[in-house]
Amino acid sequence: MSEKFIPIVDHRVNHRDSHRQHARLSIPAILEQPNGQVVDTFGRSLNDLRISVTDRCNFRCVYCMPKEVFDKNYLFLPQTSLLSFEEITRIAKIFVAHGVSKLRLTGGEPLLRKNIEKLVEMLRGLRTHDGQELDITLTTNGSLLARKAQSLKDAGLTRVTVSLDSLNEATFRQMNDVDFPVSDVLEGIDAAHQAGLGPIKVNMVVKAGLNDQEIVPMARYFQNSPHILRFIEYMDVGSSNGWRLDDIIPSSEIRQRLNDAGMSLLPIAANYASETAERWRYADDSGEIGFISSVTNSFCHDCSRARLSTEGKLYTCLFATEGHDLRALLRDQQSAHSDIAISSVVAQLWRARSDRYSELRSQNTVELSAPRKKIEMSYIGG
């Protein structure tokens, strides 16, 4: 059987040679010291860096890594292509100097990366421009969380977000497509809570006809708990999940379903300007709940997030079609670029940023949802 790969933008036919297929980034003629803030063409600051530490996952969720694409013949990245922990820490330090105060480790499934606690410990040593500690978080499917929670906390992780799309055993196993039991994920959430990795956010991607019947049961389960359930509209990320507009259950409909079930909600203020989730609370003060509405209510205007892929490419939007190869600069032995040189490149790239895909999609959904080469979510994290 022939090997399969998704035709994403960088066309990774041969991982070891992928760096040759990108235009090399140029170091600016005049280098600049970072001052703790850099803004893009819309005046958006750089505050949040999401770091994919592996492109592998032990789930085959139908909306992210469907088994018919990511099968046993799929070409994952070789170990030599992945950024080392030292390289990740070096890049993170550069971004922090430009104003990043929050680092999120993602994947794939980040807990599959060997000795991930060591990376957390290394990142914990970084400080913001004004000397503050960073907010270091991690998004996981929860499968390995029960055994890893305490060591992650001890290493300096602040909190975790757990992806959980159903409490129904049959539905959950159907969605992860590897027959993984929901009880093990719930055990991981409990372990993370006991370790102090909270408040834990639980993300549910809602896809019409697949798990939307679980909306009310999920809300009831996490109501009166210390955890924050967040419903996510099914997004057109990547090219492998067969996204259609009909698959979306809008956040407004989800709130109506909860209201009809006797769970009245009241809006509450955002924690910060670029927060992705709209925050609500139960009218009876039985907890907080969130809605991430990238399709029906985009948040491009405040987006302060950059993404670093597993092999060191910078993406300035979740829906990007190409990245910028920072790894090539890190590993350029001939030039041995300094941190200030790479920092100047990052500043230049962010100042040129004009991404607002979700806003444009809202204006013309049909045109922008047509087939186009977008980077896969498993490659740069959600």
Euclidean distance between CA atoms 245 and 256, whole angstroms: 19
In a domain, 261, yes or no: yes
Residue 362 identity (one-letter amino acid)? S
Strand partners, 159: 137
In a domain, 175, yes or no: yes
DSSP 132: P
In a domain, 30, yes or no: no
Res. 368 pLDDT band, cuts 50 70 90 = very low
Among 31, 75, 39, smallest CA distance to 303 is for 39
Euclidean distance between CA atoms 178 and 164, whole angstroms: 14
Q: State pTM to two decimals.
A: 0.88
Three-state SS at 146 = helix
Q: What element of type H or E holds 247? A: none
What sign results for the dihedral spanned by CA atoms 171, 251, 296, 213? positive
Q: What element of type H or E holds 279? A: strand 278-282
| Residue predicted with more confidence, 6 or 140 | 140
Q: In this predicted structure, what is the pLDDT of residue 42?
A: 94
Domain residues for the domain of 348 are: 42-380
Query: In angstroms, what CA-CA distances link 335 with 34, 91, 296, 329?
Result: 21, 17, 47, 9
In a domain, 83, yes or no: yes
Question: What is the number of structural domains in the chain?
Answer: 1
Residue 115, pLDDT > 60, answer yes
> Is residue 122 within 8 Å of 61, Cβ to Cβ?
no
Q: In this predicted structure, what is the pLDDT of residue 296?
A: 83
> Which range, of 126-140, 163-177, 286-300, averages the lowest pLDDT?
286-300
Torsion angle, alpha carbons of 174, 177, 178, 184, to 10: -50
Res. 319 pLDDT band, cuts 50 70 90 = confident
Residue 194, pLDDT > 80, answer yes
In a domain, 332, yes or no: yes
DSSP 331: T
Cβ-Cβ contacts under 8 Å for 301 (sequence gap 6 or more): 42, 44, 356, 359
Q: In this predicted structure, what is the pLDDT of residue 373?
A: 58
Q: In this predicted structure, what is the pLDDT of residue 235?
A: 74
Per DSSP, the residues of 133-172 read BPEEEEEE-STTHHHHHHHHHHHT--EEEEE---SSHHHH
Euclidean distance between CA atoms 329 and 342, whole angstroms: 7
Q: In this predicted structure, what is the pLDDT of residue 77?
A: 94
In a domain, 1, yes or no: no
CATH of the domain at 163: 3.20.20.70
In a domain, 20, yes or no: no
Two tokens at 192? 């993370």
Euclidean distance between CA atoms 236 and 246, whole angstroms: 12
User: 118-129 burial, b if ≥16 CB within 10 A, otherwise e?
Assistant: ebbbbbbebebe
Greatest pairwise CA separation for the chain in angstroms: 66
In a domain, 113, yes or no: yes
User: For the CA atoms of the chain, what is the radius of gyration?
Assistant: 20
> What are 58-76's pLDDT values in tens digits?
999 988 899 999 999 999 9
In the chain, the percentage of residues whose pLDDT exceeds 90 is 73
> Is residue 167 within 8 Å of 182, Cβ to Cβ?
yes
Euclidean distance between CA atoms 153 and 194, whole angstroms: 10
Q: In this predicted structure, what is the pLDDT of residue 17?
A: 39
Q: In this predicted structure, what is the pLDDT of residue 63?
A: 80
Main-chain dihedrals φ then ψ at residue 83, nearest 5 degrees: -65, 135
